[in-house]
Amino acid sequence: MIRTVNNPSRRTFLASAAATTAVSCLPAAAFAVETANPSPIRLGMASYTFRSFTRAQLIAALKDLRITTVNLKDVKDHLPSTSVEAEQAALADYAAAGIRPTACGTISFTKDDEADIRAKFEYAKLAGVKVIVAGDPAPTTLPRIEKFVKQYDIRFAIHNHGPEDKVWPSPLTVLDAVKNLDPRMGCCIDVGHTMRTGTDVVAAIRKVGPRLFDMHIKDLAQRDSKESQVAVGEGIMPVRAIFRTLAEMRYAGNVDLEYEIHADAPMPGVIESIAYMRGVLNGMGYTG
């Protein structure tokens, strides 16, 4: 059972964030190598990881983690969709902190309705992102959505949600639906949900190829168990093979950590996950 706290106090958050002091105890290789090449893999954060915390707390955590890019969701006050003014205020806070939004989502596209779809593309346009991560669009809405993709020049990345999702279980399902549509219609591969469908994650990444626009990364201790999520590096996810494949493909998107467990105290697992991924990149000869 995953515990969540709807309104964690500042004390609770800081107690969790205090775990960032562990950063100074990690090997230098977990963060950067002066002589290494710049990494072709851009590590970012899915703000859903901090869904129980405010925008100010999210920004503080990202700064501690030295993460400068974020996939923003309309959760808490991370990137409000209630008004242009509220969204602009949030964007100003990120800009002041040196944090750049790279995607919005996940965003639901359940209505085959011009006004509803346009409002969501306007939301992404104002955020200055070139990727919308879509959670559950009905397949029948894709031709209408494609028109907005062409009009706004914003890529539309459908997020797969595993075997429980009968419409979009794996990235291969997404690819089959969009393969004849505009090339800006594609995937946000969630590697954990992909693994749980029995799909080879690395093979799926290769097959999706240029229609991969964003990635949500996590780790599992058991291949078929959603409840077995662990910090990245503690499970069986082939992280090095994933990074190597993305580098070979010249993948231009982000790899965003989506740590969905311990919603009330995510920082210890987040720190471990980011340090592990940076260590993998350093081992490949890249700065992380």
Task: Give per-residue pLDDT as tens, 96-133.
Answer: 999 999 999 999 998 999 999 999 999 999 999 999 99
Note the pLDDT of residue 10. Answer: 43
Rounded Cα–Cα distance for residues 282 and 288 (Å)? 6
Query: What residue spans define the domains of the chain?
Result: 52-283
Confidence band (pLDDT; 50, 70, 90) for 288? low
The answer, yes or no, to whether residue 15 has pLDDT greater than 80, is: no
Mean of the per-residue pLDDT values of the chain: 90
Note the pLDDT of residue 2. Answer: 34
Rounded Cα–Cα distance for residues 61 and 128 (Å)? 22
Rounded Cα–Cα distance for residues 126 and 283 (Å)? 38
> Rounded mean pLDDT of 228-242?
98
Reference 193, options 165, 174, 167, 212; nearest CA is 165
Note the pLDDT of residue 12. Answer: 45
Angstrom distances, CA of residue 124 to CA of 61, 204, 246:
23, 27, 25
Assess if CATH 3.40.50.40 describes domain 52-283: no
Beta bridge partners of 212: 187
270 phi and psi angles, rounded to 5 deg: -65, -45
Angstrom distances, CA of residue 1 to CA of 4, 12, 22, 83:
10, 20, 27, 35
Note the pLDDT of residue 16. Answer: 47
Task: Give per-residue pLDDT as tens, 162-191.
Answer: 999 999 999 999 999 999 999 999 999 999
Using omega within 30 degrees of 0 as the cis cutoff, is the peptide bond preceding 68 cis? no
Q: How many CB atoms lie within 10 A of CB 181?
A: 16
Task: Give per-residue pLDDT as tens, 133-157.
Answer: 999 999 999 999 999 999 999 999 9
Task: Give per-residue pLDDT as tens, 33-68.
Answer: 444 689 999 999 999 999 999 999 999 999 999 999
Note the pLDDT of residue 287. Answer: 80
